[in-house]
Structure 1
Amino acid sequence: MNVSAPLLRTGLAAQIREFIVDGISAGRWEPGERIVERRIATELGVSQGPVREALRQLEALRLVESLPNRGARVRPFTEQDLGEIFPVRAGLERSAAELALPRLAGRVDALERHNRRLAEAAETGDLQQQMRLSIEFHREVVEAAGNRLLVSVWESLGIELWTTLSLRLHQTEIYSKSAEHAVLIEAFRRQDPEAPRMLHEHVMNYAP
């Protein structure tokens, strides 16, 4: 998120939530570190109310925790956390692919662009860019379902953060994902009824 531009008033808490998740993903706030409402509000030029609401949302997602008289901090993440999040993500993406399958053939060009850029990022060794492009590929599939609730729930999982944590803890070889994506693209192109199952298995490869 570009913090130099003023935040839109609509969906302010959601935008702040995204800003905090990006910060955790990038290592700005490490597990166990405090997130100070006032500092975020000052940096973003907003009141503390929407920052507090964003932190409440992140607490509901188990990304932060509140401490009595100490405010919020990033939760120390465990193997169990990772083991729980990826089956949920995989199930959502399988449902998305089932809904989207008739339309995904028309999105093959966009999927191929994402995947081509992912392969290029792998060649340069840019892990952060690889991760972002991989998630963009999956977002394309989820949005193709045309189900706003499903997209909202998927986004709320903090996909980028959990993927980052998995990469850090398990040194997942994300450079191999472009090859797996290519297989999925061909399945989407021919509207293979097995494509949703294939996508589910692909996502579970990120899990510990």
Structure 2
Amino acid sequence: MTSLVRAPLRDQIRRVLLDGLVSGRWQPGERIVERRIAAELEVSQAPVREALRELESLRLIESTPNKGARVRAFTEADLREVYQVRAGLEETAAALALPSVDPEALAGHVTRLHEAARGGDTAGQVEHGVAFHREIVRSSGNRVLREVWESLGVEVWTHLSVRLFRVELHENAADHEPIVEAFRRRDPATPRMLRDHVLGHAAPLPPA
């Protein structure tokens, strides 16, 4: 593993740890050794500790006194709760963004979703699907809403839903095209449509 040389270190370390969770390097219940990560990345333990605290705030790991950090044993209920909160945020974002969002920017993300689907690129589908939703959140113009949405760790939870629960990805072009058309029409039903779309990510989980 290459050393990290550019600031901010905490953000880079956080990305390394997130990549490890997504790739399955660390399985649920497995310990993440702070000292070992610091040695691998050739950094002090302080920024590693900060990055681990951020992941704990995302409910991705849990820390126990004198035992260190472990990957949480994720449940379907965890996934459902994240998507319920995300759905509410995106419904609000869509209502705020309806007059100003650029439908062509959304259509561009859908095009890249098509390309990822044709190539069987699951990671690409997640990346471009999340970018589609991020465009709507950004277009809301509400900084607080965007920060809360980002704090959910949407990309990580989407990857984990696929890897751990084998949830079928709804991040595909066909699911997003009606939303693009609704934004083009400035359809007042768009926020509810987006909310239902996000809740569909949790299928086939039973409704809460």
Q: TM-score, normalised by structure 1?
A: 0.88
In structure 2, the CA distance between the partners of 1:4 and 1:123, relative to structure 1 (3 Å rule), is farther
2:81 corresponds to 1:84:
yes
Name stretches of at least 5 consecutive residues in structure 1 with no aligned partner. none
In the other structure, the counterpart of 1:185 is 180
2:25 corresponds to 1:61:
no
The alpha-carbon deviation at position 17 of structure 1 amounts to: 2.6
Aligned length: 202
In the other structure, the counterpart of 2:95 is 98
Q: Which residue, 137, 140, 163 being the options, matches 2:135?
A: 140
In structure 2, the CA distance between the partners of 1:200 and 1:3, relative to structure 1 (3 Å rule), is farther
Q: In structure 2, the residue corresponding to 1:164 is in which secondary structure? A: helix
In the other structure, the counterpart of 1:159 is 154
**Same amino acid, percent of matched pairs:** 56
In structure 2, the CA distance between the partners of 1:75 and 1:125, relative to structure 1 (3 Å rule), is same
Structure 1 range deviating more: 143-152 or 40-49: 40-49
Contact 2:28 2:74 in 1 (8 A): yes
Instruction: Work out the CA distance in 1 between the residues paired with 2:174 and 2:60.
Output: 31
Instruction: Work out the CA distance in 2 between the residues paired with 1:3 and 1:135.
Output: 28
Q: In structure 1, the residue corresponding to 2:29 is in which secondary structure? A: coil
Q: CA RMSD in A?
A: 2.0
Instruction: Work out the CA distance in 1 between the residues paired with 2:135 and 2:120.
Output: 23
2:112 corresponds to 1:117:
yes
In structure 2, the CA distance between the partners of 1:199 and 1:64, relative to structure 1 (3 Å rule), is same
Q: TM-score, normalised by structure 2?
A: 0.88
Amino acid at match of 1:101: L
In the other structure, the counterpart of 2:167 is 171
